[in-house]
């Protein structure tokens, strides 16, 4: 059980970050924000995949001009990602954005930052101070290192605080996992603002998933993190899928179906990978009000033990499969019927859970 760091809470368009609120999941659109239809479509895809908050890039005035239309057509809060131009931040606030991300590395005039902060304060729009190793002002803070990231973010935080503004979220991202963890750890000793976790430029789907899981997972285990984004060079829906699974692994998010599968070995008597993939695809649509664990095991040596402890389980044998539900052995089915039978049992349990919730 993870004991989370105590933080202030900020409200992002109805989604809390920090305090007692669950760790929320974010991703970022890859569309040109001024392409309103494409951006709305992608925001809605991300929301359907489980995103709590979605960020969009605002590099030009035409992007800021599109925000009000986009906001009106989506149900999740939107964050405007601003670099260099405080004018774009002001235009995004005017358009009704739910949160701003400012990079302390590239709006360096405190007077302009103060102008944005006052406008955000009037509309109660939180600001993420998003320091990034790649855009650190090295002339002021020196080469990127955890201490430099923290000093850079803190200088901007102090500008916001001087304006009486405390709806602040902090991120301190770098590609370097140990350095990122150290930066957040140092910052946690200084402030109680909520943290947005991430490992920046983490890479392609496979490499980025591992790098992000190592870094974000370690920080979550240390109790840090109030919202997170897994950065992947992939469809952003993958970021939400990975982030969601990561939160489930850390027992910080419940719900949905989790597939447990053995790695298979020389005892395996079924095509384990194909069977597990088939089960995963066939149960993806099933709605459940409580988490359900579905085990796919390759033999009758260790398989029945695992299959029995899952909500629904299969232990493959030579030409047959043993099916279990809630610890009870339901019997044998032929190999070509075992996926169908397993899915049937998952559907049955999920329907029971939904029915119980409706009755209560």
Binding stretches for ligand SF4 (CB under 6 A): 262-265, 267-268, 297-299, 301-303
Alpha helices by DSSP H, listed for the chain, are 36-49, 61-72, 86-94, 110-123, 138-141, 146-162, 177-188, 205-221, 236-249, 272-283, 303-309, 338-359
As measured in angstroms, the least distance from the Cβ of 266 to ligand SF4 is 7
Our CB check for ligand SF4 shows the closer of 140 and 267 to be 267
As measured in angstroms, the least distance from the Cβ of 259 to ligand SF4 is 14
Element of type H or E holding 334: strand 328-334
Our CB check for ligand SF4 shows the closer of 226 and 306 to be 306
Handedness of CA 142, 145, 148, 153 (dihedral sign): positive
Q: Please choose, from the candidates 215, 223, 219, 168, the residue with its C-alpha nearest in 3D space to the C-alpha of residue 191.
A: 168
Our CB check for ligand SF4 shows the closer of 216 and 294 to be 294
As measured in angstroms, the least distance from the Cβ of 296 to ligand SF4 is 9
Per DSSP, the three-state class of 162 is helix
Our CB check for ligand SF4 shows the closer of 252 and 301 to be 301
Q: Please choose, from the candidates 190, 120, 112, 100, the residue with its C-alpha nearest in 3D space to the C-alpha of residue 154.
A: 190
As measured in angstroms, the least distance from the Cβ of 283 to ligand SF4 is 20
Our CB check for ligand SF4 shows the closer of 220 and 272 to be 272
As measured in angstroms, the least distance from the Cβ of 271 to ligand SF4 is 12
C-alpha to C-alpha distance for 78 and 216, rounded to whole angstroms: 22
As measured in angstroms, the least distance from the Cβ of 336 to ligand SF4 is 19
C-alpha to C-alpha distance for 149 and 186, rounded to whole angstroms: 10
As measured in angstroms, the least distance from the Cβ of 267 to ligand SF4 is 4
Our CB check for ligand SF4 shows the closer of 41 and 280 to be 280
As measured in angstroms, the least distance from the Cβ of 280 to ligand SF4 is 17
Our CB check for ligand SF4 shows the closer of 21 and 258 to be 258
Our CB check for ligand SF4 shows the closer of 172 and 307 to be 307
Q: Please choose, from the candidates 326, 317, 318, 321, the residue with its C-alpha nearest in 3D space to the C-alpha of residue 341.
A: 321
Q: Please choose, from the candidates 100, 35, 43, 92, the residue with its C-alpha nearest in 3D space to the C-alpha of residue 68.
A: 92
As measured in angstroms, the least distance from the Cβ of 291 to ligand SF4 is 22
Per DSSP, the three-state class of 186 is helix
CA 6 to chain centroid: 20
**Contact (CB, 8 A) for 130 and 103:** yes
- To the nearest 10 degrees (0 to 180), the angle between helices 86-94 and 110-123 is 10
Our CB check for ligand SF4 shows the closer of 167 and 269 to be 269
Residue 57 tokens read as 């890039």
**Contact (CB, 8 A) for 171 and 195:** yes
Give Dmax (Cα) for the chain.
74
CA angle 314-297-356, nearest 5°? 40
């Amino acid at each position: 059980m993870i004991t989370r760091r105590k933080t202030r809470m900020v409200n992002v368009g109805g989604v809390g970050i920090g305090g007692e609120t669950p760790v929320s999941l974010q991703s970022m659109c890859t569309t040109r924000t001024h392409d309103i239809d494409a951006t709305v479509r992608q925001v809605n895809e991300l929301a359907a995949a489980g995103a709590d908050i979605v960020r969009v890039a605002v590099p030009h005035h035409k992007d800021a001009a599109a925000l009000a239309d986009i906001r009106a057509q989506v149900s999740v809060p939107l964050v405007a990602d601003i670099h260099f131009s405080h004018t774009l931040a002001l235009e995004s606030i005017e358009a009704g954005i739910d949160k701003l991300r400012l990079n302390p590395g590239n709006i360096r005039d405190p007077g302009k930052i103060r102008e944005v902060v006052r406008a955000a304060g009037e509309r109660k729009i939180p600001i993420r101070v998003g320091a990034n190793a790649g855009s650190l002002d090295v002339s002021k803070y020196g080469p990127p290192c955890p201490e430099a990231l923290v000093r850079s973010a803190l200088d901007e935080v102090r500008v916001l605080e001087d304006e009486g503004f405390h709806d602040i979220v902090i991120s301190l991202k770098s590609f370097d996992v140990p350095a990122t963890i150290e930066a957040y750890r140092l910052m946690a000793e200084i402030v109680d603002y909520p943290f947005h976790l991430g490992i920046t430029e983490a890479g392609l789907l496979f490499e980025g998933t591992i790098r992000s899981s190592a870094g974000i997972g370690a920080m979550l285990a240390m109790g840090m993190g109030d919202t997170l984004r897994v950065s992947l060079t992939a469809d952003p829906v993958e970021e939400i899928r990975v982030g969601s699974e990561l939160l489930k692994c850390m027992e910080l998010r419940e719900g949905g179906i989790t597939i447990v599968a053995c790695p298979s070995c020389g005892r395996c008597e079924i095509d384990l990978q194909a069977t597990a993939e088939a089960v995963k695809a066939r149960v993806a649509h099933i709605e459940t009000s409580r988490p359900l664990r579905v085990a796919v095991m390759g033999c009758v040596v260790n398989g029945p033990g695992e299959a029995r402890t899952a909500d629904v389980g299969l232990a493959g044998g030579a030409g047959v499969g043993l099916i279990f539900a809630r610890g009870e052995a339901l019997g044998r089915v032929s190999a070509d019927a075992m996926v169908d039978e397993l899915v049937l049992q998952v559907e049955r349990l999920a329907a029971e859970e939904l029915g119980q919730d409706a009755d209560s």
